[in-house]
Amino acid sequence: MSLHLRDLAVGYRKRTILTGLNATAERGELTVLLGPNGVGKSTLLRTLAGLQPALGGAMHLDGADLDELSHTDRARRMAVVLTDRVSPGLLTARELVGFGRHPHTGFTGALTSHDHSIVDWAIDAVAGTHLAGRDVSELSDGERQRVLTARALAQEPGLLLLDEPSAFLDAPSRVALTGLLRTLASERDLAIVVSTHELELALRVADAVWLLDHEGVLHTGPPEQLALDGVISATFDTDELRFDLTAGTFVLRCATTRTCRVLGTDAAVLGRALSRTGWASSTSGTADAEIRQTANGYLGLADGKSTDLPDVAAVVSWARKQPVPVVRRADPADVATALARASAFSPYFAVDDIPGRTLGSIYADRDALTEAVRRTGLRLGVTEARVAASTWQFGLAARLWSIALGTVAAGDVVADLDRLCYRLDDDATIRLSLPEPGGWTAPDLTPLLTRIVIDEHLRPLHEGLRKVVPVAEGLLWGNAAAALHGALRLAPTELGKQLLATPELANALSPQGIRRSCCLFYRTPTSGTCGDCPLDGATVVTMKESTA
């Protein structure tokens, strides 16, 4: 059983609005009529309901020509719920639903026990039993719409027509009514045709769509097919909104070309929020910024900086404040490749993916720094804390520079050095890891590396270490410069020369590249001298003897 339209023309006596309409609404399915305002949706429904004559073509319901049916027979086969508000007077909800039985009653209009049972069934079908005894005038718009739908069901129709049934409803009531219609179509084997402006909701629940485009052409089929065919986009896209085929929703058109890679289970939600701030979201490739979901909210990464963001509101505020980036987020695949290639240079260039404590957190942790120095002293066999502190700091600086320069040399990217994690072995060796490989790319990476390595790692490391051990700041910067110089031997890059020219590192070396301070390495029992050492062998021996 179904409704068939064949070459139907609708309109008014002096003006035809739609012509050549061919469509089918099947029993057991919810068919949604969509289209722009003024295209003729209501005119089509009023014609199907018999409220105005067709201007051509044919309409058949279960094989019968609707134009040849009497008003009573049509009312027994078809029920209509229009947009117009109803003034029910002093009727109760049950009495209003009872009017739906009139096409089936005799001349007197009296309801039989069978009619009453149908009324009860109709009220129950719309989950309105609790409303039955209440005056209709006291009902909310959503409750009244349920009662009017029950009145239509009481007619026991094969076809139910509804014109904008959610026009006066709030959002929860619209969702509830749409779900009710979907259930009724399936469970009661009804052919339901509903006109609505709730486009996204309709596309999610409809079995079939009748879509009238701007030219009055009727397109029919499953909502997914119309989406794939581009009919939905062609009909409803605007300069501000476009239909997203993957999400099945309308999204804002971005006014800029800035992209933000969004990672995590909340990616779709965050993508919609970001679109309102002018960002286009993606899940892969190079991007201007990145949002990562964390255990405590989100992490925003943009222009070489990371920011903890507790909730979506903070994400939106952060996105709005971001300038056009100089440094962009690199493709994670490119970063992973660069890290793998860099690890072949030397073990100092390698990181693993085992989670640990964030490296930056150790710099303000006196206990952690003290323990690192103690273990280093035990490994070296020295009792002087300055020697252990200098040696441990030199090793960490060498690791930082190696990882930084390694990924630059191997892939023109800088790994997320500010996201490095560490684990401290028994001998104080630091194991560095990057559980979630990511990084940055830019035409000039010098400012980024200067800020991350020098300002965010080495400077706070030196400050924290000097609070634990009385070691000269110049010695520590000398170590950092020497460590950079050593990393450049294995991963040469023009970037290294620029880094060595920064004030902190340039002051640590002579114009000939010789460090101005000693690293204290000669004070260990088995030490030698580094390539920058200005001391000759005799002096070294004398210094060792003086500390014996």
- The answer to whether residue 541 scores a pLDDT higher than 50 is no
Distance separating alpha carbons of residues 540 and 543, to the nearest angstrom: 5
Is the separation of the CB atoms in 282 and 275 below 8 Å?
no
Q: What is the pTM of this model?
A: 0.62
Considering only residues 48 and 520, tell me which one the structure prediction assigns the higher pLDDT: 48
| Other beta carbons less than 10 A from residue 538's beta carbon | 8
Is the separation of the CB atoms in 162 and 153 below 8 Å?
no
Over residues 156-200, the pLDDT tens digits come to 888 999 888 877 777 787 788 888 888 888 888 889 999 988 888
| Other beta carbons less than 10 A from residue 325's beta carbon | 17
Q: What is the mean pLDDT of the chain?
A: 85
Give the amino acid at 535: L
- The answer to whether residue 434 scores a pLDDT higher than 50 is yes
Over residues 293-316, the pLDDT tens digits come to 998 999 999 988 899 999 999 999
3-state helix, strand, coil in the chain (%, to 5): 45, 20, 35
Over residues 377-395, the pLDDT tens digits come to 888 888 888 889 999 999 9
Over residues 121-157, the pLDDT tens digits come to 888 888 888 999 999 888 888 888 888 888 888 888 8
Considering only residues 284 and 330, tell me which one the structure prediction assigns the higher pLDDT: 330
Distance separating alpha carbons of residues 331 and 437, to the nearest angstrom: 10
Query: Which residues make up the CATH 3.40.50.300 domain(s) of the chain?
Result: 2-236
Q: Can you give the pLDDT at residue 545?
A: 32
Identify the architecture of domain 2-236 in CATH: 3-Layer(aba) Sandwich (3.40)
Residue the block writes with tokens 């339209």: 5
